[in-house]
Amino acid sequence: MGSPHVLAVPYPAQGHVLPLMELALCLVKHGINVTFVNTEFDHKRVIESLSGEENIPDMMHLVSIPDGLESWEDRNDAGKLMKAIFRVMPAKLEDVIEKINQSKSDKITCLIADENVGWALEVAKKMKVRTVAFWPAAAAQIALKLNIPKLIDDGIIDTSGSVLKKQMVQLSSTMLAVDSEHLVWACVGDPTTQGIVFDAIVKNNRTLKMADWIIGNSSNELEASVFTLYAEMLPIGPLLASNRLGKSVGSYWSEDSDCLAWLDKQPVQSVIYVAFGSTTVFDHTQFQELALGLELTNMPFLWVVRHNLTAGKDNAYPKGFRDRIQGRGRLASWAPQQQVLSHPSVACFFSHCGWNSTMEGVSNGVPFLCWPYFTDQFTNKSYICDVWKVGLGLEKDENGIIAQGEVKNKIEQLVTVKGYKERSLDLKAKVMNSLREDGCSGKNFNNLVKWIKDD
Ligand SMILES: *[C@@H]1O[C@H](CO)[C@@H](O)[C@H](O)[C@H]1NC(C)=O
Ligand SMILES: *[C@@H]1O[C@H](CO)[C@@H](O)[C@H](O)[C@H]1NC(C)=O
Ligand SMILES: *[C@@H]1O[C@H](CO)[C@@H](O)[C@H](O)[C@H]1NC(C)=O
Ligand SMILES: *[C@@H]1O[C@H](CO)[C@@H](O)[C@H](O)[C@H]1NC(C)=O
Ligand SMILES: *[C@@H]1O[C@H](CO)[C@@H](O)[C@H](O)[C@H]1NC(C)=O
Ligand SMILES: *[C@@H]1O[C@H](CO)[C@@H](O)[C@H](O)[C@H]1NC(C)=O
Ligand SMILES: *[C@@H]1O[C@H](CO)[C@@H](O)[C@H](O)[C@H]1NC(C)=O
């Protein structure tokens, strides 16, 4: 018997490749060899973003197989991509396993696949390779997929996944509510695509049962009700991006690091950090109200203003805004978010509450002000405001706008009312403890490593 050798198979999309690669690097650190199987299309992009293969550790080996589409075809069409994948990739993966298996010492001892890649779990099962399914994001999301039969019973969707009723869906009183129209498959492309995606989800649910382990990149401290309801999944996270290969991976933005020097000059816990991720877009009026609200607080702020943050051509600040905030307000095109959030000068995080940002804020013990841009979606906001109680949400006025006064009032409330900072620090401590060797996530991860090695 050779040493442990894991085959890692991501779902072919940037948001899935990088997390699995991070997990693979964690395994490499524990002395496990990993062969990482990308599509040819993703392989090229990964190598480019790493600026060459020499930046990859010896124990990690990157290989690629075709995804079934021509190089020029549109991979943003999820339905088309999935069809091609099902047609071509299982056989190619079998070839990879067989080829590796022909050598005496390097045999694959375990396959780790993204939860979305059920076909890879099937291939492994057929070839008698042990399997682990990995879910990279909020556990609540996968719980929803597993409850599709209940959604059908309740008449919320039909058996092809079409949404019949617009309503909030809540699996248990301690879990998050989701608008039925924002169920994962209901927001991708046209009805045909939605059907293909829905079928794949239902099918994956079956293959998931074949997995020897199902692990989630979250923690019991953060999503207790999900892990109770769905005990087959073990939390091993949150594994933050500290394991990336170089800082270029995953970041297509140039980071404005001067803002760290600027933060150094601000008093402890004084700065509002404002950042809305890469997809939030404001209309002109809302952008101006936000700017004026920040101005009204009289607090220092670091605001990440992407070139395309507003719907119009330019980010048009209110008249005289930039002069009036001189010295107190810092505008940046992008910021090294993890470093900013861990900086002692930061008082609170004004956020769109995407899951990554949420985890980064939580891990640094920073209270949140939640922008309701996505409020009708899967609401991380309700975790933040209602379950963990480490933040406040903003309310729209009768015109559907979040007015400057609302921005000012909520920020003041967040930084002056006792409890938000304390609870944030408390949550941070619990999450960090969970990751330690004797914590829940830490133990699960170490047991997984042991199981992989014990073949
Ligand atoms: C979250 O982080 C992962 C891992 O770095 C990345 O692949 C993914 O694109 C990020 N998601 C968003 C919405 O930024
Ligand atoms: C693991 O990787 C190391 C470094 O590349 C290599 O020397 C060794 O042969 C590999 N072992 C297995 C079982 O693949
Ligand atoms: C790998 O090769 C061994 C014999 O060396 C065989 O017993 C095993 O079934 C093979 N596994 C796969 C996945 O082909
Ligand atoms: C998925 O599996 C779960 C648990 O094994 C089961 O209760 C549920 O009915 C399945 N869902 C679907 C969509 O088949
Ligand atoms: C803004 O531009 C960046 C690249 O410059 C892109 O990745 C991002 O998706 C854009 N956001 C929107 C909402 O268009
Ligand atoms: C919550 O996180 C999920 C998973 O990353 C993301 O898709 C969703 O947009 C987030 N919801 C909100 C309210 O930001
Ligand atoms: C785990 O989740 C965090 C927060 O969303 C993300 O930054 C990180 O990349 C994820 N890591 C893995 C291994 O999925």
Helix (H, G, I), strand (E, B) or coil at 7: strand
Atom of ligand 3 nearest to the CA of 129: 13
**Model confidence pLDDT, tens digit, residues 358-369:** 999 999 999 999
Quick one: tokens of 432?
């960090």
pLDDT in tens, 233-274: 999 999 886 544 444 334 434 556 688 999 999 999 999 999
Output the CA 22–ligand 7 centroid distance in Å.
Answer: 8
Residues 290, 201 share a domain: no
Q: Do 185 and 262 belong together in one domain?
A: no
Shared domain for 346 and 206, answered yes or no, is no
Q: From the CA of 19, give the closest atom in ligand 1.
A: 4
Structural domain includes residue 264: yes
Which residue among 100, 107, 123, 130 has the greatest number of ligand 3 atoms within 8 angstroms of its CB, and so is best to mutate?
A: 107
**Structural domain includes residue 246:** no
The Cα 110–Cα 101 span in angstroms is: 12
Residue bearing tokens 């087959």: 232
Structural domain for 402, as ranges:
258-431
- What is the Å distance from ligand 4's center to 147 Cα? 6
CA of 58 to the centre of ligand 2 (A): 8
252 in a structural domain: no
| Centre of ligand 2 from the C-alpha of residue 59, in Å | 6
Nearest C-alpha to atom 3 of ligand 3 is from which residue?
A: 101
In a domain, 352, yes or no: yes
Report CA(415)–ligand 1 centroid distance (Å).
29
> Same structural domain for residues 80 and 227?
yes
Nearest-angstrom CA–CA distance, 147 and 143: 6
Q: Which residues pair with 213 in a beta bridge?
A: 132
pLDDT of residue 52: 65
Four-CA torsion 224, 229, 230, 234, nearest 10 degrees: 20
Binding pocket residue ranges, ligand 1, CB within 6 Å:
14-15, 18-19, 241, 250, 354, 356
In the reported structure, the alpha carbon of residue 143 is separated from the centroid of ligand 7 by a whole-number distance in angstroms of 18
Q: Is 56 a member of any domain?
A: yes
Ligand 1 atom nearest to CA at 354? 13
Residue 281 CB less than 6 A away from ligand 5: yes
Which residue has its alpha carbon closest to ligand 5 atom 3?
Answer: 278
According to the model, what pLDDT value does residue 211 have? Answer: 95
Domain count, the chain: 2
Q: In this structure, which ligand is nearest to the CA of 97?
A: 3
Q: Distance from first CA to last CA of the chain, Å, rounded? A: 9
**Among 18, 116, 377, residue to substitute to test ligand 6 (most atoms within 8 Å of Cβ):** 377
Same domain, 407 and 279: yes
The pLDDT value recorded for residue 373 is: 59
What lies within 8 Å, CB to CB, of 349 at 6+ separation is 273, 275, 341, 357, 361, 366, 367, 368, 369
Within a domain: residue 248? no
98 and 131 fall within a common domain: yes
Whether the CB of 250 sits within 6 Å of ligand 7: no
Look at residue 421 in the predicted model and tell me its pLDDT. Answer: 97
Is ligand 7 within 6 A of the CB of residue 435? no
Query: Does residue 245 belong to any structural domain of this protein?
Result: no
Write down the pLDDT at residue 361.
95
Nearest CA to ligand 4 atom 5: 209
Residues 6+ apart with CB under 8 A from 436: 442
Nearest bound ligand to the CA of residue 356: 7
CATH number of the domain where residue 321 is located? 3.40.50.2000
Atom 9 (ligand 4) nearest CA: 149
Residue ranges for the chain with pLDDT beneath 70: 1-2, 52-53, 241-257, 313-315, 372-381
Same domain? 193 vs 299: no
Same domain assignment for residues 426 and 439: no
Same domain as 142, residue 22: yes
Residues 308 and 376 in one domain: yes
Dmax (CA) for the chain in angstroms is 72
Residue 208 included in any domain: yes
pLDDT, residue 375, reads 38
Shared domain check, 70 and 218: yes
DSSP state of 386: I
Does residue 251's CB lie within 6 angstroms of at least one atom of ligand 5? no
Structure token pair of residue 307? 């070139």
Q: Which of 276, 283, 306 has the most ligand 5 atoms within 8 A of CB, as the residue to mutate? A: 306
Task: State whether 52 and 118 are in the same domain.
Answer: yes
pLDDT value, residue 145? 85
What SS3 class is residue 61? strand
Residue-level pLDDT at 246:
40
Query: Which helix H or strand E contains 184, and what residues bound it?
Result: none
Nearest bound ligand to the CA of residue 111: 3
Q: Say if ligand 7 is within 6 A of residue 355 CB.
A: yes
